[in-house]
Chain A
Amino acid sequence: MSSAVRFETVGLRYDAYGPEVLRDVDFTLPAGSFHFLTGASGAGKSSLLKLIYLGAAPSRGQVTVFGQETTRISPADRTSLRRRMGVVFHDFQLIDHLTAFDNAALPLRVAGQKPKAYSEDVQELLNWVGLGARIESYPPALSAGEKQRLAIARAVVGRPWLILADEPTGAVDDDMAVRILRLFVELNRLGATVLIATHDHELVGRSGMPSLHLDRGRLTQVPA
């Protein structure tokens, strides 16, 4: 089976004399797999995701995404790689001066699609995450849970091959958390590789999906 993500003795330091926040991280996510990423606060979950979506470069070792080494990638390849990923950021990273609709449609728009072509899909997706009535609202006017759902809509709108979600259920109630998890499971069933960082052990237990566990920058539990 081909791998979607592969880490080989990866280390990460944010600055040259600072501590290594990830140490000797080694794992492979097969294409089409579904994993959780757990660990205490500060263990390095967000940092690990950042290495995958090319938000940072490893200080040592090698990160490979869909067969491409991230440290040797050209700007053009980096862009096409990012277009195949959907990321739910911990802090959502929504654009405040764009409506919910425009935020959700952003990946399609920057990829050059015309509004005519995507309007219907985007609206349908926003309905699905319960934001059908808020498509004209701007992010500052949304509740934390609504922002989170909008961030999720944006992450999945482009039918990505790889979904990375950083605590995607942190700000929503249990019913919505289950609904969101169902969305990810459904997308995974359609072929997407999914990696979800979370504190929510109940959610992990309920889903029955495997997880990777980080302890102070080291991976202590790897998928079989």
Chain B
Amino acid sequence: MRSYRPGPLLPTREGRDVALFAVVAILCFLATFGAMAAAAAQRAADGWSRAMAAEATVQVNPRPDESGDQAAARAAEILAAVPGVIEAEALERAEAERLLRPWLGEAILPDLPLPHLVVVRLDPDQPAQAAALSRALAEAGLDARVDDHSVWRSDVGHAAQTATFAAIGLAGLAALAAGCAVIFACGAALQARHEMVQVLSLTGATHAYIANLFQARFAWLAAVAGAAGALGAIGLLAAVILGGGDQGLTPALPFDWSDIVMAAPTPVLAAGLAALAARLTVRRLLHVAYRTETRG
């Protein structure tokens, strides 16, 4: 006699699954892209604060016997010798005027008192401290103010942290919504299959056996939907990177190919979450049914 392969106890394809599939796939897409955006925000924050940490600006107040440009040039020479400084360059008046001309026009520029600035490029690995720069300038008898951008850096850090938390929060909300959708769909499926569940129970199936059927079905559906959502997020990532030039979309959100790894856990997490949601829903509903059958 031929061996017999039993058919699935839950029908594999059902019309209403399409809607659930779409909802879960879209939410997984949002969650995955949110995680990618969080990674990019983190990277942007790192990049900016590194760039700012590698630079300081010094404003020189010339003595009465010295011109501004002379004082700035002297300061640049002294600063270049401080350990941790790679390069120090005085911003000459001519250069400053060139930068300001488009905004201020020719007429007032000659009379405008401009600050005398030195731009200092620091060794990113061992940057010179602001105090060391100030000390070197004071010893040379220069009256100057050093700005190492630390105020900006902490502002940028806060902004980046906020952006990261927001992205993680949105990803978490999408995951939560996906879980709720599965709970809802699982309850509906159980209701729709109420008679079958009854028959299974009457023929000796345990609650765990019945819950496993629904759990496996929704876990599989969520895994496939999660994979679809993750692929969508990878597609958008690729579009942003390829379409946004070398720097990604903008320097503000520097996406990177390595962000693809954010998509890897999506199908697994979606399946796990769906399995859990389905299991808890079915167990709860079966328990309610059990109570009415045995307690009246």
Taking Cβ atoms with an 8 Å cutoff, the residues of A that contact B are 53-59, 70-73, 75-76, 78-80, 82-83, 87, 93-95, 97-99, 101-102, 105-107, 109-111, 115-116, 119-120, 123, 154, 158
Contacts and interface: CB of A to CB of B under 8 A. Distances in A.
Chain B: interface size category: 20 to 34
Contacts of A106: 199-200, 203
Contacts of B6: 101-102, 105, 109, 115
Contacts of A111: 204
B184 interface: no
Contacts of A59: 296
A123 B206 CA distance: 25
Given A58-B296, A97-B11, A110-B209, A53 B202 contact: yes
B294 A70 contact: yes
Interface of B: 1, 3-7, 9, 11, 195-196, 198-207, 209, 287, 290, 292-296
A154 B5 contact: no
B203 A82 contact: yes
Nearest to A93: B199
A99 B7 contact: yes
Given A71-B296, A110-B205, 18 more contacts: A53-B202, A54-B294, A55-B202, A56-B296, A57-B294, A75-B207, A79-B204, A83-B204, A93-B198, A93-B199, A97-B7, A101-B4, A102-B6, A106-B200, A107-B203, A110-B203, A115-B5, A158-B204
B290 A78 contact: yes
A132 B292 CA distance: 39
A106 B199 CA distance: 9
A95 B199 contact: yes
A79 to B, nearest CB: 5
**Which 3 A/B pairs are nearest by Cβ-Cβ distance?**
A57-B296, A110-B205, A83-B204
Contacts, number: 83
Nearest to A84: B204
Nearest to A114: B6
B1 A123 contact: yes
A79 B206 contact: yes
A120 B3 CA distance: 9
Nearest to A53: B202
A7 B209 CA distance: 31
17 contacts: A53-B202, A57-B292, A58-B296, A59-B296, A75-B206, A78-B294, A79-B205, A82-B201, A82-B203, A94-B199, A98-B7, A99-B7, A106-B203, A107-B204, A110-B203, A119-B1, A123-B4
Contacts of B295: 57, 71
B177 to A, nearest CB: 31
A95 B194 CA distance: 11
A82 B207 contact: no
Contacts of A115: 3-6
A59 B294 CA distance: 10
A54 B296 CA distance: 10
Contacts of B294: 54, 57, 70-73, 78
A20 B196 CA distance: 29
Contacts of A80: 204
Contacts of A109: 6, 9
A78 B4 CA distance: 30
Residue among B1, B4, B196 with the most chain A CB within 10 A?
B4
Nearest to A58: B296
Contacts of B4: 101, 115, 119, 123
A93 B195 contact: yes
